[in-house]
Structure 1
Amino acid sequence: MDTVERLIQSTQELLWERGYVGTSPKAIQQRAGAGQGSMYHHFDGKPDLALAAVRRTAEQVRAAAEADLGGPGTALERVTVYLLREREVLRGCPVGRLTQDPDVMASDSLRQPLEETFAWLRGRLAEVLAEGQAHGELSDRLVPEETAAAIVAVLQGGYVLARAAGSEEPFAQAVKGVLALLASHALS
């Protein structure tokens, strides 16, 4: 892994763990095993490096979701795979955690990849659910866009509840609940 990749990956990890303010250039350099000169040779400073890291995190979250939602199976099976996949629940969603950081949210450039990721996820889930309706798998009573927004909200809320409880159980209950609601719209 080259220096640029180590710097971006280290910044991603530190942003997830500590937030923007807690992610100092020195901590980034130490974790990446890179000197100050290397960091400032490749990036204009912490904001520039943070933006590269936030964009990378957003890309990774979208790619992981697409792997599940674009895979084989019925619409409900693909959404189920997405909802049940292994996650680091107690660390929270790497994108969702960033939305709780006031410094990230105060920056239009840092907030934009987060906003785009959640918009993409809601849209992609809505597409899959609409496919399920078109194939006669899901009831026409289900509103794909609203249901997709609810799924995303349940996941993000599940992370918050789990972190507050110090247990993955509230997240698991939230996922089971949304799966039961989706199953009530299954036609086959």
Structure 2
Amino acid sequence: MYAQPMSTQERLIETTRELLWERGYVGTSPKAILQRAGVGQGSMYHHFTGKPELALAAIRRTGEEMRATVDRLLGAGGSAHERVAAYLLRERDVMRGCPVGRLTMDPDVIASEELRAPVDETIAYVERRLAEVVQEGVDQGEFGPALVPADIAATIVATVQGGYVLARASGDTAAFDAGVRGLLALLGSSPAADNPAPSAPSID
């Protein structure tokens, strides 16, 4: 199932991440986790006290991966606009949605302060990093001085998350691509905006 050998603990965490993305918290039963991970019940409870603790580890891991992706894209060379475009146009599995964003629609996650915390922290981190790049663009004259970086960052995140919802509702990634192109056009013309990257598995 996995390309590289994993410890039992790692298989449990990675399997839970996948199931949370596919089914949500309620649909991710301990039985489903054990079956997909290919481990016994004793192994699960050797590493975790139960499903909530395992789910928390999985959510934290997903958040860490998203932050690393954001840092890689926004920390690369190029203008502020190019880096924002790289974030917006990167390869994604649009129809599957965002593994972090989808958790915000899971009532069981939102009802749990502990499970919700890494979701909130990850979204806040993404917005903060985007705001820093937009501020650079304002300081360097790429973007208009009237732009409020925090507001633009929130708009970028809302466009991405809303684009996932519209794409899933219509069954077509065109809705996501249109939102991204429109936002980039508002921020300023960019050659990359005319050629959005194809949709493919990734993490947002």
TM-score (norm 1): 0.96
Tell me the CA shift for residue 62 of structure 1. 1.0
Match of 2:89 in 1: 84
Which AA in structure 1 matches 2:38?
G
Tell me the CA shift for residue 136 of structure 1. 2.2
The correspondence of residues 149-188 of structure 1 with structure 2, limited to 5 A, is 149-183=154-188
Q: Distance in 1 between matches of 2:179 and 2:116?
A: 26
* Structure 2 residue runs without a partner (length 5+): 1-5, 190-204
The correspondence of residues 45-84 of structure 1 with structure 2, limited to 5 A, is 45-84=50-89
Which AA in structure 2 matches 1:4?
Q
Q: Distance in 1 between matches of 2:69 and 2:38?
A: 28
Q: Distance in 1 between matches of 2:41 and 2:182?
A: 48
Tell me which of 10, 15, 22 is aligned to 1:17.
Answer: 22
Tell me the CA shift for residue 84 of structure 1. 0.1
Q: Deviations over 1:92-114 (max 9, x none)?
A: 10000011000010000110011
SS at match of 1:94: coil
Q: Deviations over 1:9-37 (max 9, x none)?
A: 00000000000000010110111111100
**RMSD across aligned C-alpha pairs, in angstroms?**
0.8
Match of 1:141 in 2: 146
Q: Distance in 1 between matches of 2:172 and 2:9?
A: 35
Which AA in structure 2 matches 1:113?
P
Q: Distance in 2 between matches of 1:65 and 1:88?
A: 16
Q: Distance in 1 between matches of 2:33 and 2:162?
A: 29
Total equivalences in the alignment:
184
TM-score (norm 2): 0.89
* Structure 1 residue runs without a partner (length 5+): none
Tell me the CA shift for residue 178 of structure 1. 0.6
Percent identity over paired residues? 65
Tell me the CA shift for residue 148 of structure 1. 0.5
Q: Deviations over 1:124-143 (max 9, x none)?
A: 10000101112222210211
Which AA in structure 1 matches 2:155?
A
Q: Distance in 2 between matches of 1:88 and 1:59?
A: 18
Q: Distance in 2 between matches of 1:30 and 1:181?
A: 48
Match of 2:193 in 1: none
Tell me which of 78, 97, 104 is aligned to 1:99.
Answer: 104
Runs of 4+ in 1 over 2 A off after TM superposition: none
Match of 1:38 in 2: 43
Q: Distance in 2 between matches of 1:8 and 1:120?
A: 22
Tell me the CA shift for residue 65 of structure 1. 1.2
SS at match of 1:19: helix
Q: Distance in 2 between matches of 1:177 and 1:5?
A: 40
Which AA in structure 1 matches 2:52?
P
Q: Deviations over 1:75-105 (max 9, x none)?
A: 1000000000000100110000011000010
